[in-house]
């Protein structure tokens, strides 16, 4: 009986531990700012909306893949932001708001600044890659499958 209980406890602990390791460690912008001060690292920002089917599919199928999770958690700080959030964000000694809250396409200031395409309307999904100095290195405005995103992650310089 005692061996069975120990086995069950070990199995439960292993299962809980392995489940927590299968998720990307998403930060918000305030956490990102603190992390960058402590240790500069590449950044991946995922802008999404609750109504965006490709965004939801990436969250469910791509950002849960072990190769993606391991690479992001090891090489990047990852931020996931709802592009339509009403939150006020403090970042880089500035305040960012959603001044379009009660309008059509209520996109927050941060995604508009970081993921706007020239001469095109804002679109999702939007992934922004930044280097250790917070300079944009790439932007993607489409669904990326596991292979596509993995290749991008490992080839960012």
DSSP string, 85-142: ----EEETTEEE--TTTTSSS---HHHHHHSPPTTS---SSEEEEE-TTS-EEEEE-S
Question: d(Cα 94, Cα 13) in Å, to the nearest integer?
Answer: 42
Return the percentage of the chain with pLDDT > 90, whole number. 76
Whether 105 maps to a domain, the answer reads: yes
pLDDT of residue 21: 52
The average pLDDT across 94-105 equals 91
Question: d(Cα 72, Cα 66) in Å, to the nearest integer?
Answer: 10
Does position 115 have pLDDT exceeding 90, yes or no? yes
CATH number at residue 71: 3.40.30.10
The average pLDDT across 129-147 equals 95
Q: Measured in whole angstroms, how far is the alpha carbon of residue 63 from the centre of its chain?
A: 9
Does position 18 have pLDDT exceeding 70, yes or no? no
Whether 109 maps to a domain, the answer reads: yes
Whether 36 maps to a domain, the answer reads: yes
For residue 10, give the H/E element and its range. helix 2-20
Whether 7 maps to a domain, the answer reads: no
Whether 18 maps to a domain, the answer reads: no
Query: What pTM, to 2 d.p., does this model score?
Result: 0.83
Q: Express each pLDDT in 27-85 by its tens digit.
A: 999 999 999 999 999 999 999 999 999 999 999 999 999 999 999 999 999 999 999 99
Q: How many domains does the chain have?
A: 1
Give residue 98's domain range.
23-155
65/16: higher pLDDT: 65
Whether 9 maps to a domain, the answer reads: no
């Amino acid at each position: 009986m005692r061996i069975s209980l120990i086995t069950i406890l070990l199995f439960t602990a292993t299962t809980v531990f392995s489940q927590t390791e299968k998720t990307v460690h998403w930060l918000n912008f305030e956490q990102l700012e603190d992390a960058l001060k402590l240790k500069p690292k590449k950044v991946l920002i995922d802008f999404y909306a609750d109504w965006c089917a490709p965004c939801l599919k990436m969250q469910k199928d791509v950002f849960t893949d072990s190769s993606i999770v391991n690479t992001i958690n090891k090489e990047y700080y990852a931020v996931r932001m709802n592009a339509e959030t009403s939150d006020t964000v403090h970042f880089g000694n500035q305040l960012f708001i959603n001044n379009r809250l009660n309008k059509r396409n209520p996109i927050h200031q941060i995604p508009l600044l970081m993921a706007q395409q020239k001469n095109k309307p804002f679109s999702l999904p939007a992934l922004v890659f930044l280097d250790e100095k917070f300079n944009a290195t790439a932007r993607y405005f489409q669904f990326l499958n596991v292979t596509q995103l993995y290749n991008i992650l490992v080839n960012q310089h």
